[in-house]
Amino acid sequence: MDTRFLETFLLVVERGSLAEAARILNVTPAAVAQRINALEAEIGHALIQRNGRTVRPTLNAAAIVEQAREILSQVKDLRAIAALDRPVGKLRLGAISSVVTGMLPSVLRRFVPQFPGIELHIVPGSSSHLYSMLHDGALDAAFIVEPPFSFPKTFEWKTIRTERMIVIAPSDEPLDDPLEILRTNLFIRYDRNHWGGRLADAYMARHDLHPQEQIEIDSLESIAVMVDQGIGVSLVPDWAPPWPAGLRLRKISLPATAPRRQIGLLWATLNPRERLINRLLLAFGDASFPWRPDILSDAPPIMTSALL
């Protein structure tokens, strides 16, 4: 079976038009019709119902659409395995929000033009959710917080950023001691369902900190905005920029012994897409990016930041 016939069939089903499929494929409508006819002859059933200028899939077509997509995906995997100098194929990536908005765009700006044959599908989510998807095979790799447990030996981990935990407070906060700031202000808690939130919770428990708190939220950006509005203070990772625009905050570092959030890429080894994953990791090795940990790790212990 010619995979071009399957590609044409799926495009016709998705677009509902032979002419539209022909335009996208840069062939004539007659050529599209010939491919559909050839596929129908090979399958042994009618696949398309013509109604004027539009077309609809038959029940037989609807029954094979998902299988046709899977076949084409497997063909792309074969190409990815065989390609040595020009990798191709689909790469399913998970990424937490701070990676999606902070690190990933600058990397993809360099990566995508270099590898036009790679189709990226990016799924946002929390570290725990993305880990579950990766474990179930729904993702090829995921940019997440390092898991607080041992993962299977069939997985591989590469740290790409280390983030210190910081106290963020309104710009007019008079105290400098981060523990005193946490003790004496309303506390906005980073959701403990997130692995970064658990780091903050463990640090506070270790120092017997039990501040007044009314808010627990899973969005770092929302926490920063609330602190800017004077609602309270928080203990969060110093995540990769950008931060919300127009904020005026104090960032107060914890002692060097405080925990740090590790951001990295986790993937299953012996994956047919592992070559694509390695190419993506190479793009993260460029020292010119502003979120690199070796640029950020030497920040002074107390600083007032105007985030414009």
| Confidence grade of residue 155 (pLDDT, cut at 50, 70, 90) | very high
Whether pLDDT at 295 is above 70? no
Report the SS3 class of residue 92: strand
User: How would you label 39-70 residue by residue, b for 16+ Cβ within 10 Å and e otherwise?
Assistant: bbeeeeeebbeeeeeebebeeebeebeeebee
Residues 218-253 pLDDT 10s: 999 999 999 999 999 999 999 988 899 999 999 999
Tokens of 101: 């908005």
Q: Could you tell me the fold of the domain covering 163-260+299-307? A: D-Maltodextrin-Binding Protein; domain 2 (3.40.190)
Domains 3-82 and 163-260+299-307 share a fold: no
The gap from C-alpha 108 to its chain's centroid, in whole angstroms, comes to 12
Whether pLDDT at 14 is above 70? yes
Residues 47-105 pLDDT 10s: 888 777 778 888 887 787 888 787 777 666 666 555 555 566 778 999 999 999 988 99
In CATH, 89-161+261-296 is 3.40.190.10: yes
Q: What residue segments make up the domains of the chain, in order of their start?
A: 3-82, 89-161+261-296, 163-260+299-307
In this structure, are strands 247-253 and 155-170 parallel, antiparallel, or unpaired?
A: antiparallel
Residues 69-79 pLDDT 10s: 877 776 666 66
pTM for the whole thing? Answer: 0.68
Q: Could you tell me the fold of the domain covering 3-82? A: Arc Repressor Mutant, subunit A (1.10.10)
